Amino acid sequence: MSDTDMPVIDAVLARRLIATQFPQWADLPVRPVEFGGWDNRTFRLGKHMTVRLPSAAHYALQVEKEQEWLPRLAPSLPLPVPVPLAMGRPGEGYPWHWSVYEWRHGEIATRAQIADLSRFATTIGEFLAALQRIDAQGGPPPGQHNFFRGGALTVYDRETRWALDALEGRIDVHAARLVWEAALASAWDRAPVWFHGDVAAGNLLVENGRLSAVIDFGTSGVGDPACDLSIAWTMFEETSRTAFRAALRLDERTWARGRGWTLWKALIVAAEMPGTDRREVEKSRRIIDAVLSDHRRYA
């Protein structure tokens, strides 16, 4: 399906899909949420539900995975995660499966919302440690469904080296290459474990200053958990980063790969790919500095 053939993903479409496939909810109001996401368009359904419509075919691969695995993971986790209520089918000109979830209360995590950043970091670390302890047998390995998170960083080697060349003279490219090479030099050599895949502020909910829920498991899977470490540099500072480390107790090679995952994303944004927001470029420059500093400390 081409972009020109794609329906507009809005509340009108969501309302039609609900009415035709789940008539028991047809009378409930449907309205967009303030932060609807990029991978999915999200809508509030009544007071207690959420409708999520993937925005592209590669995001639609995540729907059935979440429907199958979230109910299995939830009982072993110390914080609430999304609860699938129904899975919708293609229809009304919309080509993919989609989901209805329980509504999760809370605000998107920002520094202003968090009462104690170190405590927050510890709570996230403990959540991820619990996730890693869940039996990974039969879980989804890295692949197209999660953009190869949990797999080898070599998938992004060409892209990273392009960004390094593009940033020559704007960042310490020599130091960044050392970080990248260190990340490529090791691999997860133990049994695959569960990972979230996108531990970012937008997927962490806060109530009363504390982490209250972890949402959006679309990029989850089983493999190397290093991809879940990026928040150490994207959100935390030295003290809270230390607290996060202490809660996870992973080996230094895994932390080196975590720096690699973080560096890859920050580099391609800092290299100003088409459509990149200027504020995101500046944020990525700060993340690169934090990663390089961390490498000098621990490598």
Sheet holding 98-102, edge to edge: 30-32, 40-45, 49-54, 98-102, 84-88
What confidence score (pLDDT) does residue 36 get?
Answer: 61
What confidence score (pLDDT) does residue 222 get?
Answer: 98
For 111, phi then psi, to 5°, come to -55, -40
Rounded (to 5) percent helix, strand, coil in the chain: 50, 15, 35
What confidence score (pLDDT) does residue 3 get?
Answer: 47
Smallest Cα–Cα separation from 108: which of 207, 40, 241? 207
> Which H, E and C letters describe 83-140, residue by residue?
CEEEEECCECCECCCEEEEECCCCEECCHHHCCCHHHHHHHHHHHHHHHHHCCCCCCC
Q: Yes or no: say if 237 and 294 are a contact pair by the CB < 8 Å rule.
A: no
Averaged in consecutive runs of 10 residues, what is the pLDDT profile of the chain (299 residues)? 68 98 98 81 97 95 97 98 98 97 95 96 98 98 96 97 96 98 97 98 97 97 98 97 97 98 96 77 96 94
**Gyration radius from the chain CA atoms:** 20
List the beta bridge partners of residue 99.
Answer: 52, 87
Secondary element (H or E) of residue 289: helix 278-298
In Å, how far are 14, 89, 99 from 22, measured between CA atoms?
11, 11, 11
